[in-house]
Chain A
């Protein structure tokens, strides 16, 4: 008896939908074993991870707040990945957006600048993120440099730049030498949706981004170009689509969205610029993009799910002393299973009775 992978004649849409669920199921099984090895009660741990955050209003809002940057970044990454452009540096573009937007907030601090401040911060952050993403894109198009490496390396540049600014020129003079800027003025802050709550306007922007991406990919010729260039580069050239232009375009859009997410995070839930504003949103968004099948709606769901693991991880740490790094292990295992399950979209398992000796009809 032999188990073989067999190519399907046409991709299975059912599996395309079910595969993330299978992956989540397998991840939970693996995590259960891991919790048991750590000497924790797996049922309690899973409850802390996946059920407890859903039971109170504060945690629910917090999930939406965490999902906001994940979804916005992942949408941009999905555009890149569909076009076969591998932007791994969204984390850096997120930080650069945060820095650029904060510049306006810092410069207008304490002045009577009006309501233009926040919109200007958003625009500048998006522009800065886009420009930062264009560096690897142009290096790829002009010199053939691997965008995977260059975009990733630029993450550390952005990280150190932010570190320098908050420890140096932008440090809050009244901040007891902590590496942080002063709290942003109200005009430089993303407004809350619920008074006294956590949910802010950024979540609405994220929803608009999801809708726009769904229309772009499903209905427009530009979205079609992006998909063809990734799926069949030679056919795309035959169709008259320029792959290099699309690398530039998708990187720019993806960088802009990451930059926007960065300033929304800083001017929203955080309220000032400081190191550690991101628990790795730019990297986790890669998982969100794939778990969501590079599909805008799927990314929205996947973003909420991954946000749940962040909140759940905190709860598990508080309640059961499970290290926070377990969340990262969880996310890594999840990506692994998602990619593995994806092979079932184009292949299927088949049980083959012993080879050669079988009579006709059994093969």
Chain B
């Protein structure tokens, strides 16, 4: 059993023997209350190594790197930097020792220029002019083009990430941590990033690369440490593993295959959007422009795109959280609904699952039964003459629990006490139990463990098979490939003409996500045809 042998010998020997690792954690443990986020983790990262930190959401990846970057203090264990034990007082000390980090969520000020943002993040005392010159030089050297004078709000997500990377590189780090850097990039942008990372490696730096994308890790990384439930499962060479074996280590078992929809029949159009144009309601929001598509019963339409290209605005327009002046722009079940409230749209048979589970999809500090009422009050017989039928709300909770395997500590806990995956199963279940004619879902499996993700994707397929029209917005191209019949791409508030799933290659989608070869005229007329 090779896996067992590898476990007995946790330190990969070979090229590194004799030297000492750049960074080593010994028994690193972080405890939050009763919860062990990191349980005695040992990792070694060597110079000239791209080291992947693989794991599902909640496996403890972020906690580990936050401890290494000095953002949190470990409860136990130690960090050794170049062989010497260190206790970091904070990120500033980490940076001064040569540890840099690029976060998944950027910390940039929209209304400031690139150079101003970089200046705010640097600890040094150099003048703004010198700093700007150095910024240009670093960005040129590494092939990360940036205009220091542009304001951040004008930049794409990929460009914003470049600012973060350049800012980290300007400190000349020996050790760079990247937290899910490709989550917000198009496939082509990801390829460009990999070139930069290879170059940093060649310069002798070490990179700790957090990801849950297996193919990417196999391609880029020399070493991978797999975390699960706060523990280190194994350190291995990802190139010698298959994606399936890596996934098994991450998940701790086989993942249920999602059954593709065989013989699904499309019926009448249930959701039609006609030339929807909507101005943003907040500064730097995205303007929706001339969006048109038609979605039939039995069909799943996927909407791909880099975050921040109008997906949130489209969801708000479809759900009725934002109203359109022209009723005909959105037609649900044959009824012009652009001007109707979300409650009236639900009564027409539409259901919605927003991206944000806590605070948008549910009220975090309210019970599940109350959260069932939140979207069920309009059309599910939960309200009689203004009075709440508590038994009916509890029944929805029980049914969702049973049908979608929602795991919780008691019958009716607060929404916030559920794990991300279980809460998402509840939210999707709550909507599906209403037998919607149209389901609009945003990021259905974002931050959800693989087991729950499979349950949710299967539920969406089953709903479509039963005749509903399903619209799925996702940044996860693999997810869309798995469940969608057609895939369209959002870019700068416009929607491309949908591609048949069989023709929607990563390359084509990547080009559309980057804004190339977009033909709005064709998209606008697709419905009329």
- Chain A residues with CB under 8 Å of chain B are 6-7, 9-11, 219-222, 224, 227-228, 231-232, 234-240, 350, 355-356, 358-360, 362-363
Contact = CB atoms under 8 A, between A and B. Distances in A.
B362 A360 contact: no
Interface string B364-383: 11100011011101100001
Tell which of A11, A231, A240, A359 has the most Cβ of chain B within 10 Å.
A240
A356 to B, nearest CB: 6
A355 B364 CA distance: 31
B2 interface: no
Contact of A232 (B76, B364, B388, B413): B364
10 contacts: A219-B387, A228-B363, A232-B364, A236-B363, A237-B321, A240-B341, A358-B75, A360-B75, A363-B29, A363-B76
Interface in B383-425: 383, 386-388, 413-414, 416-417
* Interface size classification for chain B: 35 or more
Nearest to A355: B73
A231 B365 contact: yes
B375 A238 contact: yes
A227 B354 CA distance: 21
A240 B373 contact: no
Given A240-B343, A360-B27, A231 B363 contact: yes
Interface string B26-52: 010101110000001000000000000
B186 interface: no
A67 to B, nearest CB: 29
Contacts of A232: 359, 362-366
B29 A238 contact: no
B230 interface: no
Contacts of A7: 33
Contacts of A237: 321, 342
Contact of A235 (B320, B359, B378, B414): B359
A151 B202 CA distance: 66
Nearest to B40: A360
Given A235-B374, A236-B363, A363-B31, A221 B417 contact: no
Contact of B29 (A219, A236, A360): A360
B494 interface: no
A238 B319 contact: yes
Nearest to A359: B76
A239 B386 contact: no
Contacts of A11: 365, 414
Nearest to B30: A363
A360 B27 CA distance: 9
A222 B386 contact: yes
B219 interface: no
B29 A239 contact: no
A13 to B, nearest CB: 11
Contacts of A224: 370, 373, 377, 388
B229 interface: no
A220 B366 contact: no
B313 to A, nearest CB: 15
Given A11-B414, A236-B374, 12 more contacts: A7-B33, A220-B388, A231-B363, A232-B365, A232-B366, A234-B359, A235-B360, A235-B371, A239-B375, A355-B75, A360-B27, A360-B75
B361 interface: yes
A299 to B, nearest CB: 21
A231 to B, nearest CB: 5
A235 B388 contact: no
B74 interface: yes
A205 B294 CA distance: 58
B346 interface: yes
Nearest to A225: B377
Contact of A228 (B73, B77, B374, B383): B374
Nearest to B345: A240
B388 A219 contact: yes
B363 A363 contact: no
A235 B363 contact: yes
Tell which of A219, A228, A238, A363 has the most Cβ of chain B within 10 Å.
A238
Contacts of A219: 387-388
A11 B362 CA distance: 16
